[in-house]
């Protein structure tokens, strides 16, 4: 009690409300245990919060790592309270004008920390933030300076859900405020289901006003497939692997000639670990949107450590698996729809006849679909099956359309619009429903965006995305015929669900939303790079406002539109264009010299 009262008195004059709240909290959350070195350490639910040997040495080591990233002018935001050893080191090592914020999810933990040792005057250097995750996000978003998150993992992990809500709220606020233009290189796959998604991503980034370099490897599909015609499997695999290596090197060369702020790879993009490591060495930021089932497609195991950021469509065990494989940052980013592509249509009578049915299914012939769809055929309703890879499924030949040819997106949208019930059965390698039904496939969002009614197998992550009044689900395969019968008899209810799900997609689940979210994540963790650009600090207006120390730059900047992003190379190009016939100023000569140095040292390959 002596330490607690003394520390609270030190805080009382500056933050009386915090002192009152701490006094009212219960405390007793942490188990205090003497360390081998002698200073108190702590455990929480059987896990150490600080070192059992020397908590002060551990704190210094952690703080040294944070200092390498935390730059002058940034607000340091600490996640993870513990016994405050790590916060003490940061507070004492920074200049008095450095702003240090500590997020306190649980006042009882802070009460325990204030009660075990004398803390000294440094605690008044800290800005303590208490409240809901949403309230704290609002306070942080209002800071005039960029934020640098400093996470002390052993203490932060006990409030992981709170910190996730905090980051999610900050991302939404950051996305709403973003005004700067990034240069994003999107690296697409050679072929496959993620290829149209890559195109949607490019479209969304363009809509948001960013400059996009689209590295479209689909143009090489013919060559890649031609290498697969050799009879010997080892020849096929070797040549296709070498071809993918060449495409990876060509991607690196493209990036070298026009360096982006962020390299965004879409699932199956031909980027090797060696190339990713080279990109990191050259300070390129890389991200992968992995919209695959990590349990079935496991190439992530070889690439996990190569990307700076992983965005995945699963949670929990998927996060853990990627981190064990070496991934530094893993975030959940569900699928979406492109309302410019997926939307309601008014079909002609001929189109209604061709594409319409009581029940439709669009997709490839995976094992569980081959087994389950025949069970749902009935003389009570018409059914049409669209898609490829159905060879040998003779019990479905009567409903298979176009002899099992692959159909394009335009045809899919017509089928969605023309069908009374669109079955949305997620793929599985087994005979029945997916035994680990977590991720939600792109089809769910695309059907909803089309204003189409769908019947989907139940997914654990679906309630976070759609309510039970927007998407109808089934849990057991044997229930499906009765469920189909029920929905076919209620057209008004189908229409209500379809319209509600479309509204949900347009408000929350477009590729535009996803790209805002993705860039906000990277911006929060790269405040001096991506974050500064998104905040508009590199626009003409932003640079002019910050050019008070070098007023000679203002006339040079005034030659560019207010909202345009301006880099050193842009200033140099403008000076060179105006150079003939006049003497250059000292500032102009300095800019040209710096740009020449930049050009000489930018070589990547």
The pLDDT of residue 528 is 84
CA atoms within 13 A on the CB side of 197: 27
61 CB contacts (<8 Å, ≥6 apart)?
none
Residue 602 has pLDDT above 70, yes or no: no
CATH architecture of 2-154: 3-Layer(aba) Sandwich (3.40)
For residue 488, what pLDDT is reported?
A: 98
Separation between Cα atoms, residue 323 and residue 538, nearest integer Å: 33
Residue 603 has pLDDT above 60, yes or no: no
DSSP 8-class letter at 254: H
**Cα angle: 199, vertex 203, 208; to 5 degrees:** 150
- Higher-confidence position of 544 and 262: 262
Work out the burial of residue 459: count CB atoms within 10 Å of its CB; fewer than 13 is exposed, 13-18 middle, 19 or more buried: buried
**Which of the two residues, 583 and 115, has the higher pLDDT score?**
115
Of the candidate ranges 70-79, 234-243, 466-475, the one whose mean pLDDT is the lowest: 234-243
Q: How far apart are alpha carbons 400 and 395 in whole angstroms?
A: 10
Q: What are phi and psi of 370, to 5 degrees?
A: -65, -30
Every domain of the chain and the residues it spans: 2-154, 178-336, 349-509, 538-601
pLDDT in tens, 28-43: 999 999 999 999 999 9
Q: How confident is the model at residue 329 (pLDDT cuts 50, 70, 90)?
A: very high
CATH top class, domain 178-336 = alpha beta
Give the CA radius of gyration of the chain. 28
Q: Do domains 178-336 and 349-509 have the same CATH topology?
A: yes
pTM of the predicted model as reported, rounded to 2 decimal places: 0.86
Predicted pLDDT at 601: 63
Q: Taking residues 253-274, report their average pLDDT.
A: 94
Taking the CA atoms of 230, 235, 241 and 243 in sequence, report the sign of the dihedral they define.
Answer: negative
Other CB atoms within 10 Å distance of the CB of residue 602: 12
For the domain spanning 349-509, the CATH number is: 3.40.50.2000
Average pLDDT over residues 103-108: 96
Mean pLDDT of the chain: 92
Q: Kindly report the number of other CB atoms within 10 A of residue 406's CB atom.
A: 11
pLDDT tens digits along 53-70: 999 999 999 999 999 889
Q: Are 178 and 535 in contact (CB under 8 A)?
A: yes
Q: Is the pLDDT of residue 548 over 80?
A: no
**pLDDT tens digits, one per residue of 116-137:** 999 988 999 999 999 999 999 9
In this prediction, residues 254-283 reach a mean pLDDT of 94
Q: Is a pLDDT exceeding 80 seen at residue 581?
A: no
Cβ atoms 236, 220 nearer than 8 A: no
pLDDT tier, 201 (very low <50, low <70, confident <90, very high otherwise): very high
Does residue 605 have a pLDDT over 50? no
């Amino acid at each position: 009690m002596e330490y607690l009262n003394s520390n609270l008195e030190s805080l009382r004059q500056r933050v009386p409300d915090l002192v009152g709240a701490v006094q009212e909290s219960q405390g007793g959350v942490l188990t205090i245990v003497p360390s081998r070195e002698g200073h108190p350490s702590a455990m929480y639910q059987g896990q150490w919060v600080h070192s059992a040997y020397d908590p002060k040495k551990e704190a210094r080591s952690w703080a040294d790592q944070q200092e390498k990233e935390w730059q002058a002018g940034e607000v340091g935001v600490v996640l993870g309270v513990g016994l405050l050893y790590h916060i003490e080191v940061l507070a004492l090592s920074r200049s008095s004008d450095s702003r240090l914020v500590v997020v306190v999810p649980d006042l009882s933990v802070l009460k325990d920390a204030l009660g075990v040792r004398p803390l000294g005057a440094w605690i008044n250097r800290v800005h303590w933030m208490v409240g809901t995750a949403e309230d704290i996000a609002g306070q942080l978003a209002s800071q005039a300076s960029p934020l640098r998150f400093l996470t002390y993992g052993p203490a932060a992990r006990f409030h992981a859900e709170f910190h996730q809500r905090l980051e999610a709220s900050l991302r939404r606020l950051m996305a709403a405020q973003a005004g700067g233009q990034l240069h994003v290189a999107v690296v697409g796959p050679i072929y496959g289901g993620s290829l149209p998604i890559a195109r949607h991503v490019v479209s969304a980034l363009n809509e948001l006003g960013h400059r996009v370099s689209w590295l479209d490897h689909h143009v090489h599909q013919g060559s890649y497939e031609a290498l697969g015609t050799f009879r010997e499997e080892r020849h096929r695999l070797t040549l296709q692997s070498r071809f993918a290596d060449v495409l990876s090197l060509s991607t690196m060369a493209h990036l070298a000639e026009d360096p982006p702020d962020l390299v965004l790879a879409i699932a199956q993009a031909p980027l090797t670990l060696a190339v990713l490591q080279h990109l990191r060495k050259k300070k390129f930021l890389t991200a992968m949107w992995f919209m695959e089932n990590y349990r079935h497609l496991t190439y992530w195991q070889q690439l996990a450590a190569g990307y700076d950021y992983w965005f995945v469509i699963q949670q929990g065990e998927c996060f853990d698996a990627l981190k064990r494989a070496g991934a530094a940052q893993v975030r959940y980013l569900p699928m979406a729809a492109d309302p410019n592509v997926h939307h309601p249509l008014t079909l002609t009578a001929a189109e209604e006849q061709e594409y319409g049915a009581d029940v439709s299914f669009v997709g490839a012939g995976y094992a569980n679909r081959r087994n389950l769809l025949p069970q749902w055929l009935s003389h009570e309703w018409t059914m049409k099956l669209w898609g490829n890879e159905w060879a040998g499924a003779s019990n479905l030949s009567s409903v298979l359309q176009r002899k099992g040819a692959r159909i394009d997106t335009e045809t899919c949208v017509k089928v969605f619009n023309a069908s009374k019930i669109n079955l949305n059965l997620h793929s599985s390698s087994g005979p029945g429903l997916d035994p680990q039904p977590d991720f939600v496939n792109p089809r769910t969002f695309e059907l909803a965006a089309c204003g189409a009614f769908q019947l989907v197998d139940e997914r654990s992550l679906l309630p976070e995305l759609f309510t039970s009044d927007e998407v109808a689900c089934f849990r057991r395969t044997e229930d499906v015929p009765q469920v189909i019968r029920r929905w076919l008899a209620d057209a008004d209810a189908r229409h209500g669900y379809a319209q509600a799900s479309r509204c949900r997609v347009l408000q929350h689940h477009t590729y535009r939303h996803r790209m805002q979210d993705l860039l906000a994540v990277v911006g929060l963790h790269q405040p001096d790079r991506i974050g500064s650009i998104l905040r508009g600090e590199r626009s003409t207006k932003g640079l002019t406002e910050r050019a008070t120390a070098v007023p000679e730059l203002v006339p040079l900047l005034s030659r560019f539109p207010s909202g345009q992003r301006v880099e050193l190379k842009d200033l140099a190009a403008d000076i060179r264009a105006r150079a003939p016939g006049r003497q250059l100023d000292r500032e102009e000569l300095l800019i040209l010299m710096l740009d020449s140095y930049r050009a000489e040292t930018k070589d990547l390959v």
